[in-house]
Chain A
Amino acid sequence: MSNKAFFLLMRGFGMFLREFRVNLLSLVTLTTLIFVYHVICAAGTGAAGFLTHIAQVNTVRAYLAPGAAGTEEILAELSSIEGVAGVKYYSPKDAKEFVIANAPNIAGMKSFAEDFFPAFAELVPAEGSGRDVFEKIEAAAAGVRGVDSVSYGKEYMSRFMMISRGSWIFMTVISGLFAAAVSFTVYNTVKLSLYKFREEIKLYSLVGGTRPFISVPYVFSSLLQAVAAYSAATAVFTVVFNVFNGRVLHPAGINIFYLQSVVYFAAAFVFTCLIAVAAAMTGVVSFLKRVSSVNED
């Protein structure tokens, strides 16, 4: 690092320490904002992940027409559909047992005749198949002679995916609001500092201080403030999250929330720092434009 840069950064560091008490309120505000953002992101990603998980569909179900002949041929034809990795056949008897196993609380189910349960084949698409593959298999299976109807829970899947997408949109909006709130806080703080030191700034301008010489310490001081707020907020969030998740949510059987990855924390850190620097630079530039005159009297 050059001597000039080091000199300016040290001035910024000195300014940050000197003004720490004055800027404590905005530091606490920033810390709170970042903490709330972490909480919303943890809740949002947890809920979105849970919804995405439960919206997962693993099979396409092809119901055979009642009394359809040549089950072996139908199954062979279904197996040959592109993208199908396996086929499992459920006779009316198997179908009844399947329903009873999956809905044990429905009273009187056992008394129904097997004929009420249509035979079906579960088609298992190759692992990692997307929705388009499911749709192709559905269309191909519907065209197989002896198949009455085909379903893979399209609506059910769509609704959950919509909610999941909605939660991502919500988080994007929250990120925007977070950026605006951080910008506003940093902008106001740097403006107050600049106003406080306006005489010094004018004098530096009078004796030949360049724009970078005057502005870099203020911007760096704002960056340090953002770093301090982020560190404090993240530390508090990690402790609170682990305690709350371990002592309240897990014992209650809620296991959908998890601490975000290091990548999330790194990205949020960079995001916060960039916003702080941009807001500080905007504040400094607009202030310096206004005090361009050294001797206004």
Chain B
Amino acid sequence: MIKFVNVGVSFPGGYQALQNINLDIARGEFAYVIGKSGAGKSTLLRLIYADILPTRGVVSIEENDMNIIGRLQVPFLRRQIGVIFQDYKLLENSTVFDNVKLALDIFYMKRSASRERIWPLLRRVGIFEKRDETVKNLSGGEKQRVAIARALINDPKIILADEPTGNLDEENADNVMSLLLEGCGGGAAVLMATHDTHLRKKYPARIIELDKGRLVRDGFPDVE
């Protein structure tokens, strides 16, 4: 589903964020992307949602070469990807409902039709009661659940989570993990960048480790 072949990324100034990365991630697979700060975790995720393009090699999503699909096709690719950030990236002055609705607006969906899809999902992520609350009034855990709801609303084929539990306590981190695993159970490939070793032990899965932009480990904990 997601394939990296000899992928390298250089930023202006010559900084090599990623070097010679080869990866293959299947549908329904859950993988952690780990490494120190600056190892290239976020860059790897940005390549998948086409926020940047590789300087070398090929990144393909469902057989689509990201170097070839063109700028106009990028939005249609992103519709198949749900992205969750550590800093949530929510509209602080909008309501919970409107933040999630944003992902349905692009399909020109009316408010009433959006409601039919958003309400059940808000119940699922446990934030239904706060649907009309302004996001700035929510706690970190609640905000992250809103971000997850926005990422899941279009039933994405790929879920990318960049340090989604970084700002959360253990209970909220568990909630986030169960939601991501639920998405994974639905057939989505989930890539989660994290520093949290405790979480990795609690929810073991494939680990992709980066160090200074190089892939230094790719395997499951039991075969490491």
* Residues in chain A within 8 A of chain B (CB atoms): 3-4, 7-8, 199-200, 202-211, 213, 293-295, 297
* Residues in chain B within 8 A of chain A (CB atoms): 42, 46, 49, 51-52, 72, 75-79, 83, 85, 87, 89, 91, 102-103, 105-106, 108, 110, 150, 154, 162
- CB of A293 within 8 A of CB of B91, answer no
Task: List 8 A-B residue pairs with CB atoms under 8 Å apart, sorted by A's residue number.
Answer: A206-B78, A206-B89, A207-B150, A208-B78, A208-B79, A210-B106, A213-B106, A295-B85
In the assembled complex, the Cα of A297 lies from the Cα of B85 at a distance in Å of 11
Chain B residues whose CB sits within 8 angstroms of the CB of A205 once the complex forms: 75, 78
- CB of A294 within 8 A of CB of B49, answer yes
Q: Which residue of A lies closest to B104 (CB)?
A: A207
Shortest distance from the beta carbon of B149 to any chain A beta carbon, whole Å: 12
Chain A residues whose CB sits within 8 angstroms of the CB of B103 once the complex forms: 207-208
Chain B residues whose CB sits within 8 angstroms of the CB of A7 once the complex forms: 108, 110
In the assembled complex, the Cα of A7 lies from the Cα of B46 at a distance in Å of 30
- Count A-B contacts at CB 8 Å: 61
Main secondary structure of the interface of A (DSSP, over half): helix
Chain A residues whose CB sits within 8 angstroms of the CB of B105 once the complex forms: 204, 209, 213
Shortest distance from the beta carbon of A88 to any chain B beta carbon, whole Å: 76
In the assembled complex, the Cα of A8 lies from the Cα of B42 at a distance in Å of 33
In the assembled complex, the Cα of A264 lies from the Cα of B85 at a distance in Å of 55
In the assembled complex, the Cα of A3 lies from the Cα of B49 at a distance in Å of 28
Chain B residues whose CB sits within 8 angstroms of the CB of A207 once the complex forms: 78-79, 102-103, 106, 150, 154
* A-B contact sample (17 more), CB < 8 A, given A199-B89, A213-B106, A295-B162: A7-B108, A7-B110, A199-B91, A203-B89, A203-B102, A204-B102, A204-B105, A206-B49, A207-B106, A208-B75, A208-B106, A210-B72, A213-B75, A293-B52, A295-B46, A295-B85, A295-B89
Chain A residues whose CB sits within 8 angstroms of the CB of B75 once the complex forms: 205, 208-211, 213
- CB of A200 within 8 A of CB of B91, answer yes
Q: Which residue of A lies closest to B45 (CB)?
A: A295
- CB of B102 within 8 A of CB of A208, answer no
- CB of A200 within 8 A of CB of B102, answer yes
Shortest distance from the beta carbon of A42 to any chain B beta carbon, whole Å: 45
In the assembled complex, the Cα of A206 lies from the Cα of B72 at a distance in Å of 14
